[in-house]
């Protein structure tokens, strides 16, 4: 059988499975993107906007690029940070399909462990380990678990007005009922992030991030990703903050019959800082996926409430 015929049959099988199961079930790594965006855009705001530099790090379901977690290089003697989070979401398109949309609610819970320490001068070591669980109210076949880890380095660049360059190895493993992985990927990620202070209450953050797929299983889901990230943060008071975010990403599925997707997600989140170690947030996001294969086009709304507790040591 020729490779062209085999590729066509592989694509046909994938399209048929998608039509029966939905893209969320076949590729939960993409499904977790929006939930991670809401959780991270709301999850870790600086106490004061004089903390100028921030960067995006993967966590809490960050299967794809663009999580807007704001975290400056820490200079304290406490290199470890542990957090637990729980969010309850509504979506109008749980299966991420163009037709036959299905509304559902789902619960996302998880635990995160981060480490960050100054190595020398401008360089910081950075590591992350996380485990999250996704449970749907009605569509139980969509349930999955997401484990991810990263290890890398940050570099403050005074020559670029203290922008931050980050380079990480990233690993992701997705399972159902903690069985054999349905998705597993190794990636190299790099990017540049900069926060622009407007005043003591307003800041704008911008970033360019790329992720290069080293390996993935199933192989057809291996991809390179490139994203532009923009965000505005408004400190309403000592307890309240409002974040608005936009991300444009390009996905190159180089093992999937030339598939290429443009993905946009935009929205806002409101965070109430109960105390130093506890946040409550609410967010709403709208996403659009446009592919050169129209079968993978979809639009989705996502909104939810989240709780985050964290401690640093």
**What DSSP assignment string belongs to 281-310?**
EEEEEEEEEEESSGGG-EEEEEEEEEEEEE
Is the pLDDT at 71 greater than 60? The verdict is no
Domain ranges of the chain: 3-312
Report the distance separating Cα 181 and Cα 164, nearest Å.
Answer: 34
Is the pLDDT at 198 greater than 90? The verdict is yes
Mean pLDDT (the chain) is: 85
pTM above 0.95, yes or no: no
How far is residue 269 from each of residues 14, 44, 303, 305, 313, measured CA to CA in Å? 35, 12, 9, 9, 28
Q: What is the pLDDT of residue 104?
A: 97
- What are residue 1's DSSP bridge partners? none
pLDDT digits 0-9 by tens, 18-68: 544 567 777 778 776 666 655 555 444 444 433 444 433 333 433 443 343
* CATH T-level topology, domain 3-312: Porin (2.40.160)
Classified as helix, coil or strand, 259 is: strand
pLDDT tier for residue 78 given thresholds of 50, 70 and 90: confident
Q: What is the pLDDT of residue 76?
A: 61
Q: Which two tokens stand for residue 294?
A: 């129209």
Over pLDDT 70: what percentage of the chain? 78
pLDDT tier for residue 150 given thresholds of 50, 70 and 90: very high
DSSP state of 220: G
């Amino acid at each position: 059988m020729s490779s062209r015929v085999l590729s066509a049959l592989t694509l046909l099988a994938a399209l048929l499975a998608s039509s029966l199961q939905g893209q969320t079930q076949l590729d939960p790594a993409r499904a977790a993107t929006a939930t991670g965006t809401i959780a991270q855009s709301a999850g870790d705001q600086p106490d004061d906007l004089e903390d100028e530099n921030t960067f995006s790090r993967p966590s809490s379901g960050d299967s794809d690029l663009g999580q807007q977690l704001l975290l400056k290089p820490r200079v304290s003697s406490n290199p470890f940070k542990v957090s637990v989070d729980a969010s309850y979401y509504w979506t109008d398109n749980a299966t991420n399909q163009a037709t036959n949309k299905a509304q559902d609610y789902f619960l996302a819970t998880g635990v995160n462990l981060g480490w960050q320490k100054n190595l020398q001068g401008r360089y910081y070591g950075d590591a992350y380990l996380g485990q999250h669980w996704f449970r749907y109210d009605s569509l139980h076949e969509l349930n999955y678990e997401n484990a991810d880890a990263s290890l890398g380095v940050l570099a403050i660049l005074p020559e670029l007005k203290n922008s931050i360059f980050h380079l990480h190895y990233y690993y992701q493993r997705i399972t159902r009922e903690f069985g054999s992985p349905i998705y597993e990927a190794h990636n190299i990620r790099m990017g540049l992030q900069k926060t622009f202070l407007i005043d003591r209450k307003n800041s704008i953050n911008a970033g360019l991030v790329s992720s290069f797929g080293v390996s993935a299983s199933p192989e057809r889901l291996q991809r390179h990703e490139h994203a532009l990230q923009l965000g505005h943060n408004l400190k309403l008071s000592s307890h309240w903050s409002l974040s608005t975010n936009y991300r444009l990403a390009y996905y190159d599925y180089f093992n999937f019959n030339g598939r290429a997707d443009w993905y946009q997600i935009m929205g806002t989140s409101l965070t109430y800082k109960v105390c130093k170690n506890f946040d409550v947030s609410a967010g709403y996001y709208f996403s659009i996926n446009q592919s050169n294969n129209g079968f993978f086009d979809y639009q989705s709304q996502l909104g939810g409430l989240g709780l985050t507790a964290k401690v640093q040591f």
